[in-house]
Chain A
């Protein structure tokens, strides 16, 4: 007589080998290595994307009469890539054969140092990006003269008594300096936001793993 599937199920699992519980092992080691590898891959892709963007900016701005912006952004971005590439060298030396907690903690230490350096740099490069845009547009050709000079002419036409410093309206200089100052002040926070968008999920996972491992150690 043909067995019913219910019987096959019941009888099959009566045998000793059918329900051997696997050992829980190495899970955290695998997870730590996996998550850090994922970060490394993302970081590498990010750096490559910045290099592509730097070249694209250089080409596009040059062909559109804004070479100052292109060259400045190119130099800043390439400097950023070089510094970050150097920072990853110490990451390569990290020993993943250590236990997962130590490996994660040393990675986290590297990450925090790297983020701190980048935060400091952000307070410099965000204002530089902004200033390069201002200078770039200032010198762009507007029907035979610089756009900046043309703008000053138009402002002076409307407000002939405006206060000038070296031929530039003080209010314009002040505005540019205030924005640059704000970027110095908030550059770190803008960087944090930028990093959170790209790496937020992975950082959260790392935090969760560290918390899990700390709970396990206690």
Chain B
């Protein structure tokens, strides 16, 4: 990957890539792998970009696809004896932000379904319903309702944890 392409076409969107990758991983190591794979796939798919949508939408879509694919692969490979408790411990010890409420919010987001995670993050990134629908590849009609439902669920999970 040329460093020019990385600087001009990926780095400006690194924020959302990082945020998405964080939502689908439980450790710093996985996060770095996901981030690198997303960057690589954006670079490799640049020739398929047809300018029918914005570059940012394309970047989000690729990022999401890569995260979901890697997550699926990992689920298939994961050894079932690794308990959730161990994963949670790993998350807390090695993979936390300095901002505690943000950590709690991320933990709550990770409890959502894979698509709901994407929707809520795009919503938090202030993407319009149309853009969210375009990125996740669904009909835009029910995005608003779905966001409301996800927020209610997040609030329930976070209830009492954040003041």
Give A residues with C-beta under 8 Å from B: 2-3, 5-6, 8-9, 11-13, 15, 17-25, 27, 212, 216
How many of chain B's residues have a CB under 8 angstroms from any CB in A? 30
Minimum Cβ distance to chain B for residue A52 (Å):
26
Cβ contacts under 8 Å, B97 to chain A: 12, 15, 17-18
Q: Which of chain A's residues have a CB closer than 8 A to the CB of B37?
A: 27
Give the number of residue pairs across the A-B interface with Cβ within 8 Å.
68
CB proximity of A211 to chain B, nearest CB, Å: 10
What's the nearest-Cβ distance from chain B to residue A207, in Å? 13
Residues of A within 8 A of B44 (CB): 212
Query: Which label, helix, strand, loop or mixed, suits the secondary structure of the B interface?
Result: helix
A24 and B162 form a contact (CB under 8 A) = no
**Contact between B102 and A13, CB atoms less than 8 A apart:** yes
Which residue of A18, A20, A27, A216 contacts B99 across the interface (Cβ within 8 Å)? Answer: A18
Contact of B31 among A15, A22, A216 (CB under 8 A): A22
Q: Kindly state whether residue B105 has any CB partner on chain A within 8 Å.
A: yes
Q: List B residues 1-47 near A (Cβ within 8 Å).
A: 1-2, 6, 11, 14-15, 18-19, 31-32, 35-37, 39-40, 44
B39 & A17 in contact (Cβ 8 Å cutoff): no
Q: Select one of B1, B39, B40, B99 contacting A11, CB under 8 A.
A: B99
B19 / chain A contacts, CB cutoff of 8 Å: 13, 19
Tell me the nearest residue of chain A to B124, going by C-beta: A9
